Amino acid sequence: MSSLERNILEINELSVTFQEGKTPVFRDLSVQIPSGKIFGFFGETGCGKTTLAKCIAGFIPSKHVQGQITLHHNNSSLVLSNKDESYFRQNVWGKLLTYTPQDPYKTLNPYEIILSQWERCQTSQGKKIEEILQELDISAELLQKFPHELSAGQKQRCILGMTLLTAPLIMIFDEPTASVDRRGREIIKNCLKSLAQSGHTVIIISHETNDYKDLIPPKQGFYFSPPKTGQEFSPTIFFPERKSFIEIKGLSKSFAQNKILKEASFSIRKGQWVYLEGVNGSGKSTLLHIMMGLLSPDKGEILWQGEKIIPHERKNQHWIHPVFQDPLGALNPRMTVEASLLEVIQSQPKQKESLLTFQKEAWSILELSHDLALRYPQELSYGQQKRFVILRCLLKYYSETLLCPQAQHIFLFDEIFSGIHWALRRSIILFLQNLHEKQQNFAVLWIAHGYEELKLCCQGGLYQLEQGEVQVQTVQRE
């Protein structure tokens, strides 16, 4: 191998600035990426990881970029940083390089089944569809579905499959294991390892350093900043009242011939933190949508403080506070972040000062910089979008608490920590615990994958959703 090909990519003094006079996203970044290896870019949410990936892939216009990105191949060098979109489309994308974005909700075509999208990506250099189904443990039936019929984790693996069908020299994956269950993560990691062993260069963009420590040696990773240790984490375990606050009784739900929930039953007590996990596609998000009244169950019912929740009725929406997996879909694209938050605050003009104080505290906890307030949702990173959705949810809860202090509430958190680094996750949990001890008026249903620290806070409320049925994991003796 020539000296040029030992490093397939060289990044020299790269800086990205989107607005004149504004602080660069990052400045004077230099790094060399070896050929045929797995290389990682790690850092906290909003540090510039995704921007760097898009620079390499040619999605950032050259007018915003200073410095140089050079690709070495076949004993020649190609400067990518001065090429326009037309050049990348004709000569780079799918041939030399692919970029797999983080957000599974925006990547797939909503109007085509997965198989049609896969067939369009098929190349002679890529893997066969049958090989990919086996390697990623994807059922053939899944290929006949539209994206909206899949869970976030299933979408993630289908997007990865599209990349394998193309299989260029360099593959960039932005948070490839986000929203994927534990078994799925191991499947994806083994796939990435296999790609590197076959001579491809794999670039991982992530904040999950622990997920890749067995794949990426320290010298094959670039850290935008040293990882924070965060506060000392000593979770509080809450033992709520014995009386049920919410009862889920025999819920069943099917879409066409696909049975998602099969007489799922469990209960949540006042003040309880409940942890629910299950493989991708097991029906966790569907259960949340039924609890909110957005979907009607085929069978069964949900009782809120003894009263049945009627689907699509807004009676209980004041006390139910969801954060869904798709953050961009939860924000108005025509409103700035500041305007979106003010919409909640202005609904309670008499409590404006209290709400502004609460917003300021939560803003700080969520590590949001003040210059983000005037941006639109689509201008934010995935992790920043997630944090603003969490902030708006908390603000709505606090607004309703000020209006009706005696009411009981529940947060429905669906994978809220994907796209958020570990130290910040702990800060959010500790903030919620302090709020819980102070207000004593809300329960939490967490949907997550294998987050052991969070499980410590939910002893007595640990459930597994498998094959549409809810099963108790462990019960803490009180």
Q: List, edge to edge, every strand of the sheet that includes 7-16.
A: 26-34, 7-16, 65-73, 76-79
User: What average pLDDT does the structure give for the chain?
Assistant: 87
Query: Does the residue 40 lie in any domain?
Result: yes
The DSSP element (H or E) to which 390 belongs, if any, is helix 382-403
Residue 198 and residue 182 in contact, taking contact as beta carbons nearer than 8 Å: no
Residue 423 and residue 253 in contact, taking contact as beta carbons nearer than 8 Å: no
Encode pLDDT of 253-306 as tens digits: 998 778 888 888 888 998 899 999 888 888 888 998 888 888 889 999 988 888
**Domain check: are 285 and 215 in the same one?**
no
With CA atoms as reference, report the closest residue to 64 among 33, 103, 99, 27.
27
Query: Does the residue 232 lie in any domain?
Result: no
**Domain check: are 65 and 193 in the same one?**
yes
> What tokens does 371 get?
């210059």
Residue ending a domain, choose from 206, 223, 240 = 223
Confidence of residue 237 (pLDDT cuts 50, 70, 90): low
Query: Does the residue 72 lie in any domain?
Result: yes
User: What CATH code is carried by the domain that includes residue 168?
Assistant: 3.40.50.300
The torsion angles phi and psi of 50, rounded to 5 degrees, stand at -65, -35
A 10 A CB-CB count for 43 gives: 21
Give the separation between CA 312 and CA 290, rounded to whole angstroms: 9
Residues ≥6 apart with Cβ < 8 Å to 368: 384, 387, 388, 391
**Domain check: are 206 and 325 in the same one?**
no
Encode pLDDT of 344-381 as tens digits: 999 888 899 999 999 999 999 999 988 889 999 988 88
Query: Does the residue 306 lie in any domain?
Result: no
Query: Does the residue 252 lie in any domain?
Result: no
Query: Does the residue 165 lie in any domain?
Result: yes
Residue ending a domain, choose from 223, 242, 258 = 223
With CA atoms as reference, report the closest residue to 191 among 209, 213, 215.
215
A 10 A CB-CB count for 125 gives: 11
Tally of domains in the chain: 2
- The pTM score is 0.79
**Domain check: are 329 and 443 in the same one?**
yes
Give the separation between CA 339 and CA 419, rounded to whole angstroms: 23
Confidence of residue 227 (pLDDT cuts 50, 70, 90): low
Q: Among residues of the chain, what percentage have pLDDT more than 70?
A: 93
Query: Does the residue 369 lie in any domain?
Result: yes
The DSSP element (H or E) to which 206 belongs, if any, is strand 201-206
The residues that bridge with 307 in the sheet, in sequence order, are 304
Residue 17's Cβ-side half-sphere holds a number of Cα atoms within 13 Å equal to 11
**Domain check: are 376 and 452 in the same one?**
yes
Task: Tell me the CA distances in angstroms from 49 to 56, 130, 205, 311, one per residue in order.
Answer: 11, 33, 6, 41
The parent domain of residue 318 ranges over 270-295+312-474
Query: Does the residue 236 lie in any domain?
Result: no
